[in-house]
Chain A
Amino acid sequence: MSELKSWTQIPIGGYITEPKNSMNNKTGSWRTQRPVIDQDACTRCRICWLYCPEPAILELDKPYVAKNGRKYSITFEVNYDYCKGCGICANECPVKAIKMVPEVVQQ
């Protein structure tokens, strides 16, 4: 929740002057199951990133060497601050490298 302000303190007309400050809404708390990416199975195809409605898949310039020896210059990670757990990423992943795991079990 944002701090509630007096009418004298807020910009006129209810304008919001800070772009994308919705990042204050940590929608990750909505999740009942979380996507977990198997970095070794992941082929870095970018499909999960492309189809995420939030976006809550991060494309990071983080090199990774998979168990099978393949070298990647990028890594996809889930931003759990915002991921609502819809599971589109897992559903769309062509190599089934993303598993949906119940949140409760994770604790």
Chain B
Amino acid sequence: MTQVLERPRERGIVVEKKGLTTNYAVAQAVKDVDVDVVAAYPITPQTTIIEKLAEYVANGELDAEFIPVESEHSALSAAVGASAAGARVFTATSAQGLELMHEILHIASGLRLPIVMAVPGRALSAPISIHGDYQDLMNIRDTGWIIYIASTAQEAYDTVIEAFRVAEDPRVQLPVIVSYDGFLMSHTTEPVDVYDPKVVREFTPRRRNTRPILNPENPVTIGALATPDWYYEIKYQTINALKSSRGVIDEVDSEFNEKFGRSYKPVEGFMIDDADYVLVTYGGAATWNALEAAKEARDRGLKAGVLRIRLFRPFPANDLVKVLSNAKAIAVIDRAVAPGSPIEGPVFKDVYISLHMAGVDKPMLSVIHGLSQRTMYIRDFYELYYRLKDIAKNGKSPQESLFMGLR
């Protein structure tokens, strides 16, 4: 996780070190890969991405069609149409907007369209909240998209570039979401190394003729009706494509590393090798604050570590198992809830299943925190390490989720 501190190898690739919010970093990446069509509808905290893109288009810095649609449902629908017609397409949304898109999310992956979408995560109504968490993302996790969760503005910039490569790879052909903390990242200005767009475009070459598109010279029917005789097979192709996209995801990242000097693993550990107590996190605020807490705990002799999940779908189960097998107790910090589930942390369930499928049985704690941007203090994470110590001693997983910070 320390790679963010390193400067990429100097080969004239970084043209500027900019101070960008994560939303602006995403817009910058979208410009640098030279998309053809942007279709989007404004929603907090996504809005500044599309404002910036509209500005790029208005200034002639990005040669694209900007479709200011009348709803998120139409945003993704227009993206589907444009992608099916062979364009490189981007959209972005949050929260209620992502929910409104839900129907088309399944269709975009089912039709194997390489759309890239940014999702600064946000709480879902009711009560209405514009603030950040990951409830929106968790609600759409089963729609067949590849999902990354970035933890810095730099990573979001890099990941959008990687996302287009992965999405358009003929072995994948799936839509990709790049998510990150609403507000805590989307509106936070941070240093971002911006690359030479020529190099970015070399890295994301246009792939013509690798997939059938809407073209009168070669008429194709997209979105046919499948009877029970056919639905299962066509659906399974998408399931399999998502599962096997992992190879391409790794390959693209290692090429990205070669070209730009940065690399991100599906799970990233910090002080993890000898850690007894591990907080599993995703996103920026939870990860970085947990990391500060881990440093403090280490200063006091507790072997604390952080494991961040960067690739959420396809879920990197084996990677997690490898890293977590030596821990004494594990907590998963969820900024989302699955009400009525056996235990309420949605990612907790994924981690728990991953470990148990591999025969690894550790005391585990499901932590819900940071809903609607309820402040997650470093001291909260610090406290969790000591809870984990007690849990390890006890040897049993608590049967209830811990709703941290709840009055």
Contact = CB atoms under 8 A, between A and B. Distances in A.
Interface of A: 4-7, 10-17, 19
B219 A10 contact: no
Contacts of A6: 233
DSSP majority for the B interface? loop
Contacts, number: 49
Contact of B173 (A5, A12, A14, A16): A12
A14 B220 contact: no
A14 B221 CA distance: 9
A13 B229 contact: no
22 contacts: A5-B233, A6-B233, A7-B232, A7-B237, A10-B230, A10-B237, A11-B212, A12-B173, A12-B241, A13-B110, A13-B234, A13-B237, A13-B238, A14-B111, A14-B223, A14-B224, A14-B226, A15-B220, A15-B221, A17-B212, A19-B219, A19-B221
A97 to B, nearest CB: 36
Contacts of B212: 11, 15, 17
Given A7-B240, A19-B219, A14 B229 contact: no
A107 B167 CA distance: 58
B236 interface: yes
A10 B233 contact: yes
B220 to A, nearest CB: 5
A4 B234 CA distance: 12
Interface in B165-207: 173
A12 B218 CA distance: 16
- Interface extent on B, as a size class? 20 to 34
Which among B221, B226, B240 has the greatest number of chain A C-beta atoms within 10 A? B221
Given A7-B240, A13-B238, 17 more contacts: A4-B230, A6-B233, A7-B232, A7-B234, A7-B236, A10-B230, A12-B211, A13-B111, A13-B112, A13-B173, A14-B110, A14-B223, A15-B221, A15-B224, A16-B224, A19-B219, A19-B221
Interface in B211-267: 211-212, 218-224, 226, 229-230, 232-234, 236-238, 240-241
B222 A15 contact: yes
Given A17-B212, A17-B220, A12 B112 contact: yes
A32 to B, nearest CB: 25
A48 B232 CA distance: 42
Contacts of A15: 212, 220-222, 224
A13 B236 contact: no
Contacts of B211: 12
